[in-house]
Amino acid sequence: METAYKEVSGDTVLEISYKYYSEESTYDYDTPSDPEEFEITSIFLVNGEGKKIDVTYLTEDLCQAMAWDKILEFISNQHN
C-alpha cells in the first residue's frame, strides 16, 4: 500500500492511501498489456497537529457540498 499527501492549505493535508497495480505485459502480440490501475483505500483530512478525520466515504458528497458557488447560494437562500 502506498500513501500520498495532497496539500489543502497551510499545514492541512489529505492523506490518501492506495494500492497501485503497475502495467503488466501479456507477452502476446494480439493482446494489449493490462493498463496500470490504482485503488484508493482511505482518505484522511490531517491537520498540523496530526489529528485525522476519515473522509473516505464522504468525498463525493463533500465535493458537491463544498463548491464555493453552492455555499454562497446556500447562505444567500437563508434570508429569502
Pairing of β 12-21 and β 37-46 = antiparallel
Whether the CB-CB separation of 38 and 27 falls below 8 Å is answered with no
Query: Rounded to an integer, what distance in angstroms lies between the CA atom of residue 19 and that of residue 31?
Result: 25
> pLDDT tens per residue, the chain (80 residues)?
889 999 999 999 999 999 888 776 666 666 656 667 888 999 999 999 999 999 999 888 888 777 878 878 888 888 76
How far apart are the C-alpha atoms of 26 and 32, rounded to whole Å?
7
Read off the pTM: 0.69
Backbone angles phi, psi at 59, to 5 degrees: -60, -45
